[in-house]
Amino acid sequence: MKILVISDTHGDTKKAEEAIRKNMGTDMVIHLGDYFRDAEKLSGMFPGLPFEYIYGNSDFLANGVPAEKLLEVCGKKIFITHGHRYSAKWGYDKLFSKAEELQTDILLFGHTHMPDIARKDGYTILNPGSTSDPRGDSRESYAIIEIQDGKVSARICRI
């Protein structure tokens, strides 16, 4: 199972489209908010590809779109959140606490627009960065998660 993870497209889907086309063997796309309507647009552009998405702090009138989800994929727990409710810009403690509370295999978040993979006490959290508005010294990015033979691996990819 190959999952492409994007976040913080903020109305500009060109690089997200490029990432999806570059990874046409992907089994699923996860969009971590800001803007969830971009996920709906991308889903329409790639109708054979399953999408999971949530809303972020810059999304309004969410129309039933959740703020976070706990997914089970190939027997693995993946928690998705935008990150603003966990003060992601000021550290990862609350994110790691949530991962521990839910016993997730991986927790995905966005919000900071800076790609990162962090591990602590056996838990992994991942931020794919932003495909349209990178911050800090980062470039446009997304992440790939692979679940194979019961193991989860993750990497950040630059566009």
CATH topology (fold) of 2-158: Purple Acid Phosphatase; chain A, domain 2 (3.60.21)
Given this model, what pLDDT does residue 94 score? 98
- Residue 52: both structure tokens together: 């999971």
42-58 pLDDT, tens per residue?
999 999 999 999 999 99
- Residue 6: both structure tokens together: 């994007």
CA 63 to chain centre: 20
pTM metric for this prediction: 0.96
Q: Average per-residue pLDDT in the chain?
A: 96
Given this model, what pLDDT does residue 138 score? 87
Given this model, what pLDDT does residue 62 score? 86
End-to-end CA distance of the chain: 21
| Torsion sign, CA atoms 121, 73, 5, 108 | negative
Mean pLDDT confidence for 110-136: 95
Mean pLDDT confidence for 86-93: 96
Asked if 92 and 133 touch (Cβ cutoff 8 Å), the reply is no
Domain boundaries, the chain: 2-158
